[in-house]
Amino acid sequence: MAKRLYRIALLDGTLRNDGTLARLEKDLLSILVNAYPKKEWKIQVERKFVHSRRSLEETLGLLRDRRRRTIGLHFVGHGSIRGTGTYLEVGNEEINLRDPDDLQLFEGIGVRWMLFSCCDIGSDSNTLRDLRKISKCDAVLAYQGIVYDYQAFVVDSMFYHLLLVDTPQHMTEAQMSWPLIRRRLGSAAKQLLTGAQIRASFKSRSKLSLRSKVG
């Protein structure tokens, strides 16, 4: 029996000469997802460089292709909140997620979840909600505050662990939910003394994507 494909789009918004460790995230995730026993899934991480508004728009356009069945979107790069804007950096350009025209880029992209591994985006709960609604996904997660690469690596790894791990015997499928993931990641970030917290917007009663019926 052929395995179902679970495709994750890893969007890299850093510059090619960026001195951070963001470029290692693809290798980290590839090793991590392949370490889990998956009886019916083939998990594939596809890295996409988004170094301008145009390249982000083109990449998100590809995600709307239902034939590709991209299930998750993971953005790695830089974010900030300044004045009346909540910004994602894509190369030397910025996307203001509070700007309706920029937010429109994410309309109906067809993924089940989005994770933003960058600073500050999670501080804007209204933007997380607007991203979830316009994209029609089940959950949007992001960091509140300043998060460093090595800290994000640990917390991101825990996110994928909770997403991929088999349901523990003492829990039901219904208990393995997005609220549970948010609470566990928030607790982990606090215990790890990262200084940043995980915030989320999610649909009530939505199932974790790996356990949902996907194409």
- In the chain, what are the domain boundaries? 4-211
C-beta of residue 162 within 8 angstroms of C-beta of residue 156: no
What pLDDT does residue 47 have? 86
20: alpha, beta or left? (left if phi > 0; alpha if psi -120 to 50)? beta
What pLDDT does residue 67 have? 59
What pLDDT does residue 23 have? 63
What is the fold, at CATH topology level, of the domain defined by 4-211?
A: Rossmann fold (3.40.50)
What pLDDT does residue 2 have? 61
What pLDDT does residue 29 have? 77
C-beta of residue 87 within 8 angstroms of C-beta of residue 45: no
What pLDDT does residue 207 have? 65
Instruction: For residues 15 and 1, give the distance between their C-alpha atoms in angstroms, rounded to a whole number.
Output: 42
Q: Give per-residue burial for 93-102: e unless 16+ CB within 10 Å, then b.
A: bbbbbbeeeb
Which pTM value belongs to this model? 0.89
What pLDDT does residue 213 have? 45
- Give me the helices (H) in the chain, please: 25-34, 53-63, 100-103, 125-135, 149-164, 178-191
What pLDDT does residue 83 have? 92
Side chain identity at residue 82, one-letter code: R
Q: Which residues of the chain have pLDDT under 50?
A: 212-215
What pLDDT does residue 148 have? 84
CA distances 143 to 5, 32, 118, 128, Å, are 28, 21, 6, 11
C-beta of residue 138 within 8 angstroms of C-beta of residue 211: no
